[in-house]
Amino acid sequence: MSPDDRHEMDQLDELAAELIEAGEIARAASARGETPDPVFAARLRAQLLGGLSQARPAPKAAVLLADAPPAATLVPPGRPLRVPESLAYRRGLHGVAAASSSGDGRQVAGPEEGKRWRARQVQPISATRPGALPAVEPTDLGALPAGHVATLRPSVHWRMPTRIVPARWVVAGLAATIAIASFLYGSTLLFPVRPEATADVAVATTLIRAGVSSPLAQGAQLLEGDEIQVGAGGQATLAMSGSFVRMAPGSEVRLDSLDAKHIVVDQLVGRAYYRASAATAGDYTVATGSVSWVASGTAFDLDRQPTAAGGQEVRGLALLDGLNLQGPQLATSLNQGQSATVELAAGGSPQGEPVVAQISAAVLADSWLVENAHLDALAGLALGELAVDVGPTESPSMMPWPTVGPVTRPTAAPTSEPTRKPTRKPTPKPTPSGPASLGKLTIVNNGDGTYTFSWPEYSGDGFTYYKLVYGNWGTTPNYPTSPFWACNDSRDENSWTGPVDVGNYAVRVQAVDESKGIVIRAQTGIVHFKATAPAATDPPTQDLGALGFSDNGDGTYTFSWAAYTGGFSFDAYKLVYVAGDGSPSYLDGDCYVAFGTGAASGSLDHLTSGDWSVRVQAIGSFAGHTVVFGQSDVYHLTVPAPSPSS
């Protein structure tokens, strides 16, 4: 130990001694201050004990001022009360003079350079009698009455040591603290970093990251930009900052943003069930094309499927709390228990207004929703609209024991009454709050100005017929305020074919019940339908009959035909021919000789020997393209080889 350390320890010892001494003096003064006057105590004792035959020992004498030397000044002891002798011994080791005793029993403290103790006359603690304490020096000792007990009134002053802990210890402690804090801060020992998104369930699922496909493993960390594809028969659950999404087989999503305050998932195709955590401060957005479904503390289901017209249909179900729908010129809010159906064009843009309706009991009975409801119930989550599928069964009430009155003689054991089975309350059927979904409406262009509309049959009761209602695109057609095309009167037929004027329509089918007023029992989603003019058909080709033939004998041949009388204007007759046995046509690029529209015959003079096929065609233009208005039968001509003499 260095001299500095010993010096500092000595100062600490002295401070401890001062505190001990101050405490002893304070306790003694307090105890002595409650002692009664000796004269009063003696009189009271004599009166109380005067009748006793056995003498009691007298109380211990108190310390009187008369017992103290008249010139003595009472001061606190030079050493603290009950301070170990090791303190004085320790100071002696440091070259400090120990206290010496005078001849009269008093101690005189030796000089201690740099200490808090000054040399002074003290009265040793051993000089006092049992129960007596040194008295404080009065202003005038002669003014006090004889026999008065003087009590000590100490004065305690706090002193803060200039140095208690060595400076180098402080430096070493700070360095160690900084080192430990740096280690803990730079490691995950106390604060492990949890990935923002993980694959909690991954069965037959593929991860596409930076264009590279790989199987998605359970527990894998997910990053922004990742695409997750669930194969047929597979399933996946993705956890993101307290929220999660369960993906159905055949679904595909892309994680566009994993910020805890702004999660964005792009649902590319298929069906998914979403659970947005209410504890997350922010929003949870699912994009389907240019339409966004924004939630906060919500459970909802989205199903995105292609349509026969080349676009897509998205159906969203608000199962717990609300759901906001946003898009180009589109803003709709769904309350819990409502659904919205949105038609998307091939590019992902919305077509028309979304169809908002109440979620029917048939929709909630879907196996996908029932499965998710059971999983949420096991996790202790609020179910909202899904509670109808997993509602708890009420426990039967206990029957009270019968009260039996006292009897004077034994009686036969009473026949126990059989416990009645609790009456099970029938589960109330949910009141339909809106038209049910009838399914998809399919439209086929027949090419002749007529179209065929078909839809699934409505399996419910209480409807009269179907109505194929329509309106201009951008409106919401609804029976009976909207016009409708003639539909079948029978509820068994679920298709209609008829002519439709050229136009841009919003169309849907509604199952109408008119037994008690007009009630829409079910309906399809609104379909964007464009009726165009039928393609122009070419006029029929007139048959000009057999082609006449005449051999001129000089290597030329004349052909004659009947005139075209079909009523359309044409440009010319074309006498077309090909070698061999064929079907010559001007439209196929075969050889020809042209004649005017008034001609009835024409000649060919450059045919070589061999077999030829010849016919005449009336050629003209119709609707911007070349057509054959009339043609004759094919004439097969054999041109002989020239004789050697010629």
- Tens-place pLDDT, residues 395-449: 444 444 444 444 445 555 555 565 666 656 655 555 545 688 888 999 999 988 8
**What's the mean pLDDT in 4-25?**
78
- The amino acid at residue 380 is G
How far is it, in rounded angstroms, from Cα 384 to Cα 378?
14
Who has greater pLDDT, 24 or 130?
Answer: 24
| Residue 386 confidence (pLDDT) | 87
At residue 562 the predicted structure's pLDDT band, cuts being 50, 70 and 90, is very high
**Do the Cβ atoms of 321 and 302 come closer than 8 Å?**
no
Q: Is the pLDDT of residue 93 over 80?
A: no
| C-alpha of 126 from chain center | 81
Amino acid 489: pLDDT = 63
Determine phi and psi for 410, rounding to 5 degrees: -60, 140
Q: Which range, 12-16, 314-318, 531-535, is most confident?
A: 314-318
pLDDT band at 465; cut points 50, 70, 90: confident
User: Residue 55: pLDDT band by 50, 70, 90 thresholds?
Assistant: very low
Are the CB atoms for 452 and 495 separated by under 8 Å? Answer: yes
Asked if residues 112 and 97 have their Cβ atoms less than 8 Å apart, the reply is yes
- Cis-peptide into 480, omega within 30 deg: yes
- Exposed / middle / buried, residue 263 (Cβ in 10 Å: 0-12, 13-18, 19+): buried
Residue 369 phi/psi, 5-degree rounding, is -70, -40
User: Which is more confident, 125 or 147?
Assistant: 147
Q: Does the pLDDT of residue 119 top 50, yes or no?
A: no
**Mean pLDDT across the stretch 195-202?**
86
Q: Is this prediction's pTM over 0.75?
A: no
Q: Identify whether the C-beta of residue 340 lies closer than 8 Å to the C-beta of residue 315.
A: yes
Sign of CA pseudo-dihedral 401, 403, 408, 412: negative
209 pLDDT higher than 80: yes
Q: What are the tokens at 645?
A: 């003499």
CA 413 to each of CA 212, 278, 410, 417, 626: distance values in angstroms, whole numbers, following the listed order:
82, 62, 9, 12, 111
Tell me, what's the pLDDT at 122?
Answer: 42
pLDDT at position 178: 65
Q: Edge-to-edge, what's the strand order for the sheet holding 107-108?
A: 100-101, 107-108, 121-122
pLDDT at residue 118, as a whole number: 43
Which of 83-97, 319-333, 538-552 is predicted with the least confidence, judged by mean pLDDT?
83-97
Whether the pLDDT of residue 343 is over 70: the answer is yes
pLDDT digits (tens, 9 = 90+) for 216-249: 999 999 999 999 999 988 999 999 888 999 999 9
Backbone angles phi, psi at 27, to 5 degrees: -65, -40
Query: What mean pLDDT is predicted for residues 284-299?
Result: 89
Say how far apart CA 52 and CA 603 lie, in whole Å: 179
Task: Take residue 184 and report the two structure tokens written for it.
Answer: 């803990």
- Are 597 and 633 spatial neighbours (Cβ–Cβ below 8 Å)? no
pLDDT band of 470, cuts 50, 70, 90: very high
Q: Which residue has the higher pLDDT, 74 or 248?
A: 248
Tell me, rounded to whole angstroms, the distance of Cα 399 from its chain centroid. 46
Residue 451 pLDDT > 90, yes or no? yes
The answer to whether residue 83 scores a pLDDT higher than 90 is no
Distance CA 283, CA 265 (A): 11
Q: CA–CA separation, 403 vs 225, rounded Å?
A: 73
Look at residue 524 and tell me whether its pLDDT is greater than 70.
yes
CA 154 – CA 484 distance, rounded (Å):
110
Report the pLDDT value the prediction gives residue 281, as an integer from 0 to 100: 60
Percentage of residues of the chain with pLDDT beyond 90: 34
Mean pLDDT over each residue of the chain, to the nearest integer: 76
DSSP alpha helices (H): ranges in 365-422? 367-378, 387-390
Q: Choose between 93 and 590: higher pLDDT.
A: 590
Q: Which residues contact 607 (CB under 8 A, 6 or more apart)?
A: 555, 557, 577, 637, 639
